[in-house]
Amino acid sequence: MPDQQTVEVPIKGMDCAECALHVQQAIAALPGVESVNVFLSSEKAVIRLDPALVDLPTIRKAVEGVGYSVPTSATAQPTPSPLGDFTRRVLALFGIVFGAVLFIVVVGEWLGLFEAFTQRVPWPLGLAVVLIGGYPVFLNVVRATLKGQITSHTLMTLGALAALAVGEWATAVVVVFFMRVGDYAENFTTERARRAVKDLTAMSPQMARVERRGTEHEVPVGEVQVGETVIVRPGERIPVDGEVIGGHATVDQATITGEFMPVEVGPGARIFAATLARLGSLRIRATHVGPDTTFGRVVKMVEEAEAHRAEVQRIADRFSAWYLPIVAGIAALTFLIRRDPLATAAVLVVACSCAFALATPIAMLASIGAGAKRGLLIKGGKYLEALARADVLLIDKTGTLTLGRPQISDILPLNGVPEDDVLALAASAERYSEHPLAEAVRAAARERGLPLYEPEQFEAIPGLGVRARVNGGSIAVGNNRMIAAGAGLNLAPAFESGLEAQGKTLLFVAREGELVGVLAATDTLRPEVPASLAAVRALGARHIELLTGDNERIAAALAESLGVHYRANLLPEDKIAIVREYQANGHAVVMVGDGVNDAPALAQAEVGIAMGAAGTDVAIEAAHIALMRDDWTLVPEVFRIARRTMRVVKLNIAFTAAYNLIGLSLAALGFLPPIFAAAAQSLPDLGILANSSRLLRQK
């Protein structure tokens, strides 16, 4: 629909996975909302809506209706009165101390250490203590119930009521107390997991120094315009993406690339926001600001990574929805069969559904956050999951396996055209091509100081070459298929020259359908490739295949030296077809490319990995995983991260399942008094956190 738009709305107060689900449902139910994604980690909702049917106040009302809030910059939140705040804190402190003391007393009684003095407290007094201690929780439960929602708290409250019914008021108070403890545990866990993402945002500078009408002004980064000149002093973070127009500095680009070795930059260099200038000042012309910078995009994608949920999480979410009714059923059975209200209360209390909902996202968030700090942009748990089971790795050649900086090694002029003219015509035709081979041709012409012409009617033909009108003549530069397709040209001299046998890529140059020369380009294999491929193979990608638009002989030579399969003479659409072919045969395909001319194949693969994506918008958008620096060792690294993450996820789920199963069984059989059940339910979150935190650590 053309009249739809996507808006982002911040949401406050969500501290459990269940909460995000409630907000999601509330917004989705509004008329005019097409889709909505609620992000627990970045505390926002991304909504696709029809602005004619739904507006911000309506959304805010819906969100507030389920107990959360939408902060506004326009209308300030009513600040709680200092006294109110103070009373609340005192009450909370009282609740904690009282709950803890009571817990000790009741456990002591149960072990027979003290006399059973809680039994002697009159019943109405006990009831009053429960109500005072638990009123905030009860209030929430009543609110949720009125909206037809069942939460873990609903069951626990029922448990507390059951305990109360048999006169165990102290048990009821302790249950309420541990509900709060459980909330804190979950809140703490989610907060910790969010931190990896928040740390990332904290690295973008807030202020920029701009030169306006000859004087320097400190302005918030949001106010810098594209094209303005920004000044950066030693030790400062660079506020924008841009081009250096003055000064020299060493720049630590670890924020973007994960590489700690600083790089030297000077006039003409491209530079990224959030990187750190050391030793030296710079004048930069801003090319991208705010969310359009490479760093801005990375942050946004990391924040939204939750939208690409892993299949395991979908299953866990579906299971969570069933879990509470199942627990209620077990409690009912316990009561019917064993007629034991305390055991029934224990069953209701021991159930903690949040742990299931947290098991996957906590681990994914940890890995994605840690990855982003090391130059690995992972766009969602889904891709880590797919990577962990991938068995086919497809690799693009030019710019991916090779350094991507090919050089023209030979020029073979034909039909009496001077060597320099061949090169000048080719370089002019290639002037606006982004292909690495085009850059090689331009560089060769630059080296010889040849004048370039401004091409007219430039056309890039993916996988084949370019065509342009140069100086009034129609020039084509490309491989044999492109040139031969034009007219039955005699390509024999080039083939007889033996250049291809040396592993060189041939670029044929034709003018008005007549061959005027052949250029040979050599490109060097990235040195870390062989070891990285071996590592990836050991990590599960047993079938590795080179896909290239280059010719058969070159592909064969390279593939043989690497010990991989290959297919040559491919057009971009052939690469997509090959990905589909593997998928149809049940394989999970990972494709590594440069992300520029192979973006469609990257998108088609289960996991598309783009190399050296920093600064190339297309690659960052197209790939599922973007490697911010040109380093093949990152490929096995991301496979390793994926496998570790999935191991942690599986352990989290297994642990939660076992814990709850044992807890429920013990409770139903009457071996677990409600008081211990209440204490037990707050622990799995912390177990999940401890297990998942392993993913935050660098190896």
| Residues lying near ligand ADP in the complex (CB under 6 A) | 396-399, 430, 433, 435, 437-438, 463-466, 477-479, 505, 507, 548-550, 597
427 close to 450: Cβ distance less than 8 angstroms: yes
What's the min distance (Å) between Cβ of 36 and Mg ion? 38
CB nearer to ligand ADP: give 271 or 464.
464
Rounded Cα distance between 213 and 211, Å, is 7
CB nearer to ligand ADP: give 302 or 510.
510
Distance from the Cα of residue 150 to its chain's centroid: 31
End-to-end CA distance of the chain: 47
Residue 314 neighbours by CB under 8 Å, 6+ apart:
none
Q: Which helix (H) or strand (E) holds 509?
A: strand 505-511
Query: Could you say which of 183, 241, 252, 396 is catalytic?
Result: 396
Distance from the Cα of residue 412 to its chain's centroid: 48
Structure tokens at 572: 């971009």
Rounded Cα distance between 271 and 242, Å, is 5
What's the min distance (Å) between Cβ of 581 and ligand ADP? 17
Where along the sequence are the contacts to Mg ion (CB under 5 A)? 396, 398-399
What's the min distance (Å) between Cβ of 631 and ligand ADP? 18
Q: Which helix (H) or strand (E) holds 564?
A: none
Rounded Cα distance between 426 and 476, Å, is 8
Select the binding partner of residue 463 from ligand ADP, Mg ion, none (C-beta < 5 to 8 A, by kind).
Answer: ligand ADP
Select the binding partner of residue 517 from Mg ion, ligand ADP, none (C-beta < 5 to 8 A, by kind).
Answer: none
Rounded Cα distance between 30 and 19, Å, is 18
Residue 594 neighbours by CB under 8 Å, 6+ apart:
396, 398, 399, 400, 404, 436, 610, 611, 612, 619
Q: Which residue number places its CB atom closest to ligand ADP?
A: 549
Which 3-state string (H, E, C) describes 516-551? EEEEEEECCECCCHHHHHHHHHHCCCCEEEEECCCC
Q: Which residue number places its CB atom closest to Mg ion?
A: 398
What's the min distance (Å) between Cβ of 572 and Mg ion? 9
The single-letter code of the amino acid at 71 is P
CB nearer to ligand ADP: give 375 or 595.
595
Residue 483 neighbours by CB under 8 Å, 6+ apart:
465, 476, 489, 491, 508, 510, 515
CB nearer to ligand ADP: give 292 or 574.
574
Supply the DSSP symbol for 500.
G
CB nearer to ligand ADP: give 160 or 475.
475
What's the min distance (Å) between Cβ of 537 and ligand ADP? 21
Any catalytic annotation for residue 183?
A: no
CB nearer to ligand ADP: give 264 or 456.
456
Measured between alpha carbons, how far is residue 406 from residues 393, 438, 546 in Å? 24, 9, 18
Structure tokens at 452: 């370039």
CB nearer to ligand ADP: give 532 or 597.
597
CB nearer to ligand ADP: give 379 or 397.
397
Select the binding partner of residue 663 from ligand ADP, Mg ion, none (C-beta < 5 to 8 A, by kind).
Answer: none
What's the min distance (Å) between Cβ of 596 and Mg ion? 7
CB nearer to Mg ion: give 118 or 433.
433
172 close to 164: Cβ distance less than 8 angstroms: yes
CB nearer to ligand ADP: give 289 or 611.
611
Rounded Cα distance between 569 and 481, Å, is 8
Select the binding partner of residue 523 from ligand ADP, Mg ion, none (C-beta < 5 to 8 A, by kind).
Answer: none
What's the min distance (Å) between Cβ of 514 and ligand ADP? 18
**Burial degree of 502 (CB within 10 A; 0-12, 13-18, 19+):** middle
What's the min distance (Å) between Cβ of 395 and Mg ion? 10
What's the min distance (Å) between Cβ of 409 and Mg ion? 19
Rg (CA), the chain: 32
CB nearer to ligand ADP: give 38 or 554.
554
Select the binding partner of residue 504 from Mg ion, ligand ADP, none (C-beta < 5 to 8 A, by kind).
Answer: none
What's the min distance (Å) between Cβ of 435 and ligand ADP? 4
Select the binding partner of residue 433 from ligand ADP, Mg ion, none (C-beta < 5 to 8 A, by kind).
Answer: ligand ADP
Measured between alpha carbons, how far is residue 361 from residues 199, 201, 311, 544 in Å? 18, 19, 11, 31
List b or e across 505-531, with b for residues whose CB sees 16 or more CB atoms inside 10 angstroms.
Answer: bbbbbbbeeebbbbbbbbbebbebbee
359 close to 653: Cβ distance less than 8 angstroms: yes
What's the min distance (Å) between Cβ of 473 and ligand ADP? 17
Select the binding partner of residue 503 from ligand ADP, Mg ion, none (C-beta < 5 to 8 A, by kind).
Answer: none
What's the min distance (Å) between Cβ of 186 and ligand ADP? 48
Rounded Cα distance between 605 and 596, Å, is 15
Classify 131 in phi/psi space as left (phi over 0), alpha (psi -120 to 50) or beta: alpha
Distance from the Cα of residue 678 to its chain's centroid: 36
Identify which of 310, 391, 357 has the alpha carbon closest to the alpha carbon of residue 605. Answer: 391
Helices 17-28 and 56-65: crossing angle in degrees, nearest 10, is: 130
Rounded Cα distance between 379 and 361, Å, is 13
Structure tokens at 235: 């030790």
Structure tokens at 289: 């600001």
CB nearer to ligand ADP: give 174 or 477.
477
277 close to 266: Cβ distance less than 8 angstroms: no
Select the binding partner of residue 430 from Mg ion, ligand ADP, none (C-beta < 5 to 8 A, by kind).
Answer: ligand ADP
The single-letter code of the amino acid at 91 is L
Point out the residues that are catalytic. Answer: 396
